Structure 1
Amino acid sequence: MKLKITFQVILCITVMCTQLTFGQIGIGTTTPEGILDIESNTEGFVFPRVALSSVLVAAPVVNPAGGTLAVGTTVYNTELTTNGANDVSPGIYSWDGTKWITQHLREDYKRYTQTNVCQRTTIRESTSNPNPNDVDVVAGLDNEVFRPKYSGRYRIEVGVNFSAGEIADFTSQDEISLATSEGSFFFEMSGPGVSIDPTSTSFDYQQGWIYTHSYSTFNSIESPDLEDNTVPHFATVVYYKYLLAGNDYTFSLTNNINTGENYFVNGGDSGTGQGHIGHDQPCSIEFTYLGL
């Protein structure tokens, strides 16, 4: 019995020395090709799961040997914070000595589209400036809500499309007639840290003003006559805003056309004289996450 115990002790010491000598551990393999080699066709490696509070705070993760947290320490964070620039979201993080660096891909994209393509709009009475308080609401883009997945910088792209209505018949004066309708789209957005308010200023794209215009022509020289030949106007404005994860951001898109009522059928207020919002291509608003 004594010899048996002695042999077992010697065997354990031999194995330990081998591990210390070669410093390799194999799980699922007897021939590890690195300090740790794990092989499996059905199972995955699970990182330690912790609840981080900020990319700048190492806790609750600690160095078991004491002292500062070792560079390269890697964990799976389970929390989503919504405090600001140093927020964390669920995923894998590695410590670089001063902060946690995300190791997972962050994607957040959403597109909102006008629901009533070729929505008709009226021409308001001529004024010096379009009035953001007297508008046609773009269908499907009224008081919508975007809730970002992550705190960080977002690209907000607003795409608009306007086309004038049918021009009135001026052939008694000229054989070729051309008229234009002008005005503005208004993009409004509000939420934590963001305020885009078209009513606060005039002709300022940073506050949601998006100038638009469109031409209609009548050409009696051609045979047959070219009537209601409309040239639509497309425009895109891009905003870069820092949004906070988990918060609601409300936005709307509206339109005011304020010139040309004397040159379109029915004064541009009804029938074929009315203009079109989203002619051939709907208006849209896109949110894309860019990063911290």
Structure 2
Amino acid sequence: MNTFNYTHILTKAVSELSDSKSYEGLFHQYKEGEPLPSGKSLSRIVELAREILFPGYFGNSTINSRTINYHIGVNVEELFELLVEQIQAGLCFGEENNPHKEEESPCRTSAANIAAQFISRLPELRKILATDVEAAYYGDPAATCFGEIICCYPIIRAVTNYRIAHELYILNVPLIPRIITEMAHSETGIDIHPGARIGHHFTIDHGTGVVIGATCIIGNNVKLYQGVTLGAKSFPLDENGNPIKGIPRHPILEDDVIVYSNATILGRITIGKGATIGGNIWVTESVPAGARIVQRRE
């Protein structure tokens, strides 16, 4: 029988892992009343928002016109309470990771104010999401009805998460918007940064592998196909050789642009109104309005 003593190996590993130098930048130190945002609670927030925005399609399927006010009221109340809790956690996290942190931690009142502002935007969110459903339906001859689009198409789940996250992003909530869009990324394979600006009637056919960067600006009636990347061409560096953050570095797609599968569009360039970008193309220069860019034939 093997009687080898592993204690000294485990003790050594614990000692090395507990060394402050080994976890620098990787350690979140708990403070009383300042928890990290909860993935479980944020998942519930997304579920509730989907139930409110698309009643009957998500959540309680027995809802009808006589009971809708009650169901939405209950959901909004739960959504508000969860948002306040999670936004407060996000604000605390943001302060901890802010090198210019003020002495006082964000208070629950600030979180409640942001949560109320977000909920006040839900009617407008529903209106723009209705245009996204229309775009997906009229852009796909295989679609049979709006209900199929809402129930089955990954773009609706991804763009719903994005539009929820974007509202929180513009309300300056740290961390939480990115978690919400990454939930959609895991669920659908569509990666949309919450900082991107996207107009109405937006759709992605199929969707898998699409990447939309943080400073992208996308106009109205834009359609993408699977595998499209709207990314950064390069990263300007500061005097220490580190990437400069917060500068516009992703493409602008004007109204009525179509980008076919696996096209890669990089840098702060403009794809003009009504332009078409063919599949499997690498684009690093601006494209004029109405242009049609395809692969050259040998």
> Taking structure 1 as the reference length, what is the TM-score of the superposition?
0.23
| More contact order relative to length (CA 8 Å, sep ≥ 6) | 1
Between structure 1 and structure 2, the one with the greater Rg is 1
More strand by share: 1
